[in-house]
Homo-oligomer: A and B are copies of this chain.
Amino acid sequence: MTDRLAFADFTPGRVFELGTVRVDRDEMLAFARRFDPQPFHLDEAVAADSIFGRLAASGWFTAGLWMRAYVDGVLVRADGLGSPGGDEISWPAPVFAGDQLRASMEVRAARRSRSRSELGLVTLRGTLHRADELVFAATFTGMFRASS
């Protein structure tokens, strides 16, 4: 997995498997305390009575877990230039402490910027699955250096 990835390698339909991440309970709680202190992210008793049934991860923590897998699996071997954003962020099912989540990234589209041809724009969809269940998805544009 150390081969470099050029812009031309981001072909529509290509799927990158990014490995499995485990949801650490202490880190999940620390994240929620700082960034998303809603009771069902922090309090066992409240969470048990909530629609989640038990302590659920902040969706932004889940997003961070996916991002790290994407950096380690793809960006570390590409010339990424950041992201202006995207048009999907989805948390279709709650994430719990101890979950094992499988991370993937699929290329949806790729083109060069019209105004800056050395800039590659890759539309990608990142996902996390717990077994066959989708628990996170985000579709956004990744910018990459596109050599001529």
Name A's B-contacting residues (CB within 8 A).
Answer: 31, 34-38, 40, 50-52, 56, 58-60, 63-65, 67-68, 71, 75, 80-92, 94, 137-138, 140
Contact = CB atoms under 8 A, between A and B. Distances in A.
Contacts of A65: 35
A52 B137 CA distance: 26
B89 A51 contact: no
B75 A85 contact: no
B68 A34 contact: yes
Chain A interface mostly helix, strand, loop or mixed? mixed
A51 B90 CA distance: 29
9 contacts: A36-B68, A38-B71, A38-B82, A40-B82, A51-B81, A56-B82, A85-B89, A85-B91, A86-B90
Total identical chains:
2
Nearest to A136: B85
Nearest to A35: B64
A90 B85 contact: yes
A14 B63 CA distance: 28
A65 B60 CA distance: 10
Contacts of A64: 31, 34-36, 60
Given A34-B68, A64-B34, A67-B36, A51 B84 contact: no
A135 to B, nearest CB: 11
B138 A89 contact: yes
- Per CB-CB distance, the 9 closest pairs between chain A and chain B, nearest first, are A85-B90, A35-B64, A89-B89, A35-B68, A36-B67, A85-B89, A85-B91, A60-B64, A35-B67
